[in-house]
Amino acid sequence: MSGPSCFVCAQQSFGTTKGLKRCAGFDGTLVHGKGMTDMQIHSFNRGLRSRDPLPEILKASREKTLVIVFGASAVMDDPAVLRPMLDAYSWATMIGCSTSGEIYGQRIFDHSLSVAIVQFGHATVRVETMAVPNSHASEVVGRALAKSLPSNSLRGMFVLSDGLCVNGSQLVCGMNGAVPSSVVVTGGLAGKGDRFSRTWVLKDRQPQSGYITAVGLYGSTM
């Protein structure tokens, strides 16, 4: 069974947030009474060494707040640059990956962090992460990752994947084959930039290579 899917490079997913909006049934406005459609997105960009204060976001439960971090490949050499965000949003669910340039608004930045904080009104989220040994295992790992998310009330999956050791098409095939056709699978592959030969995905809030993260979006109605 094959569900609807949209899988591109991760920076495109962040640049428009269309992937996550489509996954949650969001049309760009706040719509109440449809379970998963009411959400607010706060976004910002900051330099890796910035000491500027982070935006203050109203605290909510971990299951209703998703922080998505996109950053330079160099973050893997100095993960301490993530510490301000890890501390500020320790109460939220956090995912992220490297990009080939961090998109914010109409501009593309280098050596920075672009962040989206998504707060849901009715939907809840759950995150699972799995290692992928090589591209030949993409479909198998994709299927196992999708199955690791509880299926009850699952409406969509937002996926961030290592960009070098994963075959995106096979990954989506495996995930689509493990969920009903009504579940939207969307997301992107991590980028590596011009001067690096590796990509990273956040695992346990630390940048690591060779992983795939899936966020399950849940709601009783849409």
Question: How confident is the prediction along the chain (222 residues), in pLDDT tens digits per residue?
Answer: 334 444 555 444 444 345 555 554 433 333 333 344 578 888 888 888 888 889 888 888 899 999 999 988 889 889 999 999 999 999 999 999 998 767 777 777 777 888 989 999 889 999 999 999 999 999 999 999 999 999 999 999 999 999 899 999 999 999 999 999 899 898 889 988 766 578 999 999 999 999 999 999 998 754
Q: What is the pTM of this model?
A: 0.82
Q: How many CB atoms lie within 10 A of CB 107?
A: 11
User: What is the widest separation between alpha-carbon atoms in the chain?
Assistant: 49
Say what the pLDDT of residue 41 is. 87
Name the nearest CA neighbour of 157 among 136, 202, 127: 127
Domain locations in the chain as residue ranges:
5-218
Please say whether the beta carbons of 148 and 130 come within 8 A: yes
Positive or negative, the CA dihedral 191, 194, 199, 204 is negative
Residue keyed to tokens 């994709």? 142
Say what the pLDDT of residue 217 is. 94
- Which helix (H) or strand (E) segment is 156 a member of? strand 154-161
Q: Which residues of 51-74 are buried (b: 16+ CB within 10 A; e: fewer)?
A: eeeeeebeeeebebbbbbbbbbbb
CA distance 174 to 176: 6
Say what the pLDDT of residue 50 is. 87
Q: Which residues of 13-29 are buried (b: 16+ CB within 10 A; e: fewer)?
A: bbbebbbbbbbbbbeee
